[in-house]
Structure 1
Amino acid sequence: MTGTAEQIGAQPPGERRASRAHTALGRFGEDAAARWLAERGYVIADRNWRGEAGELDIVAHHAGWWVGVEVKTRSGLAFGDPFESIDRRKLTRLHRLTAAWVRAHAADRRGTPWRVDAVAVLVPRTGGIRFDLLQDVRP
């Protein structure tokens, strides 16, 4: 069977490379964010947890709260601030996922407060990494 890449659902080679680079940057950002959060007292409990509504990048315990953390990584600001990609719909989903994680894993499900935080990771090509944290982000 033959067909174009589009017809058979494949990506052209250049797009595959770009997709792999994007995935690698995202993974790098999540790893860096986990280390950065740990340095600030977050105890990482889970990574890339999948629930029915999607995936939580990081789940941590911080100052008595369970925290679902969304990590957004960019190599520059050409596509806007990383936080701009977290819209109301995504926040609603992140809240559902965090609540589901707490129900499934926290020992005291009723008395355990939880929240959603977001970390923006900027990795410019010139070097260095910048982190920004928003705590208790709500839709």
Structure 2
Amino acid sequence: MGQPETATSGMQETPPARAGLDALADRLRDGTLATRALGALGEDYTAAWLRERGWTVLDRNWRSRYGELDIVALDPHRVIAFVEVKTRRTLKHGLPQEAVTAAKQANLRRAGVQWLLDPSHRIAHTGVRFDVATVVVRGGRPLVHLIEGAF
């Protein structure tokens, strides 16, 4: 004789990380979001997406005189990744990663060095790299493309 059937039999519980991603995806679908709000949500979505894949987010929106680091994270191989996030609704103006110009890359490198030199950021790691994450909302859902070692 089997177990008595419960109200949740046959239903799978959504893990908290996935539930968070789904909620952020719902918010990203809002076509009325201002550009700045869309960018902030894209960063939130990317951070949750990275966590779901085993990354540890160390810092968000860290500011220096050279600009802002969107996400600083430790990947599953203990590499510190400085992740620049670009979020777009359409590809009308080109690919999101094209917005990470040579000048922007130079400033991100300088900011990354400053982050690493801060005594409060001492963490065992196996390397450092600069990634670009693109978030494009297509077909009503956000698609993330992570370009590891983009520059």
2:20 aligns with none
What code does the residue aligned with 1:106 have? H
* Paired residue secondary structure (2:36): helix
* Paired residue secondary structure (1:67): strand
Structure 2 portions without partners, runs of 5+: 1-32
1:71 aligns with 85
TM-score using structure 1 length: 0.77
Structure 1 portions without partners, runs of 5+: 1-19
Identity level (%) = 39
1:136 aligns with 2:149: yes
1:106 aligns with 121
2:99 aligns with 85
1:127 aligns with 140
CA contact (8 A) 1:119 1:134 kept: yes
Give me the CA root mean square deviation. Answer: 1.8
1:42 aligns with 2:51: no
Larger Rg: 2
Q: Any runs of at least 4 consecutive aligned residues in structure 1 with deviations exceeding 6 A, and if so which?
A: none
Superposed displacement of residue 108, structure 1: 5.6
Superposed displacement of residue 120, structure 1: 0.2
* Paired residue secondary structure (2:74): strand
TM-score using structure 2 length: 0.72
* Paired residue secondary structure (2:93): coil
